[in-house]
Amino acid sequence: MPLPDAEFFVSGIEEGNKSILARAITLIESNAPAHRQLAQLVLQQLLPRTGHSIRIGITGVPGVGKSTFIEAFGTHLCDLGKKVAVLAVDPSSTISRGSILGDKTRMEKLSRNPSAFIRPSPSGGTLGGLNRKSRETLLLCEAFGFDVVLVETVGVGQSETTVRSMVDFFLLLLLAGAGDELQGIKKGIVELADGIAVNKADGDNKIRAEASRLEYQHAVHYLHPATRGWTTQVRCCSAYAGDGIADLWKMTRDFSAATTVCGSWQQRRQQQVLAWLHSQVEDLVVQRFYHSAAVKEILPGLEQKVLNSEIPVTQAVEQLLGLV
């Protein structure tokens, strides 16, 4: 089947056709050169329509309640008349373990809401590749006209930094009293967060959640602020019961207002685009390097020499770089 042309995707997205948006995202996620070329054309034409949404990253350890939270938060935003897109960045995701796919049951209401769009994590590929795909998917969603884009990531490894680098506001979900308070800080994740929500603050857990909230609120005062012009706020919420959800939306609005006034909102977006440019260059240069015939030819021999301690690594690197 021949591929539709760029105009097909661009006008479909401009007209708000979700199935064409989904097809455009599939195109973006493809690694086939012809698809990538077409995807770039589509993106280029849509670029003037991007940049107008609030981009919110949501992270937290498995089971903290991210999907349940997104269901509640996203539904709340739709009730306010907003259009909401949900994306996921999960480097370990496969079809069977897809974080959002498997969880669509937890976002049942949201996935049926005409104002919402849920896109599971692109599977496979390196984090670098995922980074590109997720960013470009985010731009497509903005061009489509979503007011808020929620980017979910599982709270392990490097994916948090990746998501931080593509969103305006970063929300960390935590559990009360799991003894992980200082762990989170050690891992540096708390330092990335503009907002922290102690989730599952319901039933018997309410009091412990409030105690954790106070502890975190105290701790963030000693940390370097994640965003200039904003002090990280800590709240309790129950994604399950819907408590605190409206308050967290208000927090993102306050954040947006405060950082727009002091200029850090715009500054971050500019820095993000430049960082993306540079990381793309790095990815592609490395890719081309390893694909070059000359490198492929001598690399195994050099590896062996390094393993046999015949030449130092630095010398091997210089020889390799001399080839390209």
Ligand X SMILES: Nc1nc2c(ncn2[C@@H]2O[C@H](COP(=O)(O)OP(=O)(O)OP(=O)(O)O)[C@@H](O)[C@H]2O)c(=O)[nH]1
Site residues (vs ligand X, CB under 6 A): 60, 62-68, 99, 103, 106, 154, 199-200, 202, 238-240
CA 26/CA 14 separation, integer angstroms = 17
Minimum gap (Å) between residue 165 Cβ and ligand X: 20
232 binds, among Mg ion, ligand X, none (CB under 5 to 8 A by kind): none
Instruction: Identify which of residues 50 and 111 has a Cβ nearer to ligand X in the complex.
Output: 111
Instruction: Identify which of residues 38 and 87 has a Cβ nearer to Mg ion in the complex.
Output: 87
Q: Is 209 left (phi over 0), alpha (psi -120 to 50) or beta?
A: alpha
Residue 139 C-alpha from the chain's centroid: 12
Instruction: Identify which of residues 90 and 142 has a Cβ nearer to ligand X in the complex.
Output: 90
What does the DSSP assignment read for 129-198?
HHHHHHHHHHHHHHHHT-SEEEEEEESSTTHHHHHHTT-SEEEEEEETTSS-HHHHHHTTSGGG-SEEEE
User: Does residue 67 touch Mg ion according to CB under 5 A?
Assistant: yes
User: Does residue 227 touch Mg ion according to CB under 5 A?
Assistant: no
Query: Which single residue brings its beta carbon nearest to Mg ion?
Result: 67
- The contacts of residue 197 (CB under 8 Å, 6+ apart) are 69, 171, 172, 173, 174, 234, 235, 236, 237, 244, 248
User: Does residue 103 touch Mg ion according to CB under 5 A?
Assistant: yes
Torsion angles phi and psi, residue 302, rounded to 5: -65, -40
CA 235/CA 247 separation, integer angstroms = 8
CA 298/CA 176 separation, integer angstroms = 55
63 binds, among ligand X, Mg ion, none (CB under 5 to 8 A by kind): ligand X
Instruction: Identify which of residues 103 and 136 has a Cβ nearer to Mg ion in the complex.
Output: 103
Pick the piece of the chain touching Mg ion (CB under 5 A) from 11-19, 97-105, 198-206, 293-301: 97-105
Site string for Mg ion, 239-258 (x = CB under 5 A): --------------------
Query: Which single residue brings its beta carbon nearest to ligand X?
Result: 65
**Burial class of residue 27 in the structure, from the number of CB atoms within 10 Å of its CB (0-12 exposed, 13-18 middle, 19+ buried):** buried
Instruction: Identify which of residues 42 and 64 has a Cβ nearer to ligand X in the complex.
Output: 64
Minimum gap (Å) between residue 68 Cβ and ligand X: 3
Site string for Mg ion, 189-208 (x = CB under 5 A): --------------------
Q: 298 is written with which tokens?
A: 């001598």
Minimum gap (Å) between residue 237 Cβ and Mg ion: 16
Minimum gap (Å) between residue 201 Cβ and ligand X: 7
Helix (H) or strand (E) holding 234: strand 233-236
Q: Under the rule (CB under 5 A), what is the footprint of Mg ion?
A: 66-67, 99, 103
